[in-house]
Amino acid sequence: MEYLIIILVAIAIVAIYFVISQNTYQVTKKELNKLPDSYKMVNNVTLESDGESFKIDYVVIGKPGIYLLNIIDRKGVIIGDESQEKWKETNGDKVEEFNNPIFKNLKIRSLVRKKIDDLSAKIPMHNLVLFHKKANLNDLFSESLTIRANALHNYISDDKQILNEEQINNIFEKFKA
């Protein structure tokens, strides 16, 4: 009986560790799998402009428009302002700078508009920066949407129908080409 209790406790510890240690990419994929089948997704999209490459982790296309997801797998206290070139992550005594993802998202947005022939910006496009579910975003000052990956389903909804199924499929095909 004692061995059974020890085994159950060990299994519980492993399960808790697995849930806590999931990275932002895994959590994002799990959240995206909850979306209705009407959504189309393309991951790891690379767009070129003036000799520079820009990577989009996910392009999600649905009735409300297009969601451009930029995953930042950081767990600490995130500090920054959308006008600053560098943001900081503080994790215990460790402070690490990283590029402001909002700057990249602005360039990506215009490249996506070119790719889908929407230069007049009729299709709603939402840039989302996704951080680890343990990240503290309270010291982040940004009007752009910066959220924890496990809250993604709260921001992608079907309440507005702007694109029909044919438009969704046409946009999807442009990314697959």
* Ordered structural domains, the chain, with CATH: 23-176 (3.40.1350)
Of residues 20 and 128, more confidently modeled = 128
Reported as a pLDDT band with limits 50, 70 and 90, residue 133 is: confident
- The two tokens of residue 165 are 């199924």
- Higher-confidence residue of 173 and 151: namely 173
- Partner residues linked to 95 by β-bridges: 90
The mean predicted confidence, pLDDT, of the chain is 84
Sheet of strand 94-99: strand arrangement: 94-99, 86-91, 77-81, 140-141
pLDDT at 59: 95
Q: What is the pLDDT of residue 12?
A: 57
pLDDT of the residue at 145: 75
Averaged pLDDT for residues 26-45: 90
φ, ψ at 85 (rounded to 5°): -70, -35
| Tens digit of each residue's pLDDT (9 = 90 or more) over 52-75 | 888 999 999 999 999 999 998 888
Instruction: Indicate if the pLDDT at residue 167 is higher than 60.
Output: yes
Q: Who wins on pLDDT, 89 or 144?
A: 89
pLDDT value, residue 113: 93
pTM above 0.85, yes or no: no
Q: Assess whether pLDDT exceeds 80 at residue 118.
A: yes
Average pLDDT over residues 108-132: 90
pLDDT for 119: 82
Residues constituting the chain: 177
- 116 φ/ψ angles, rounded to the nearest 5 degrees: -100, 10
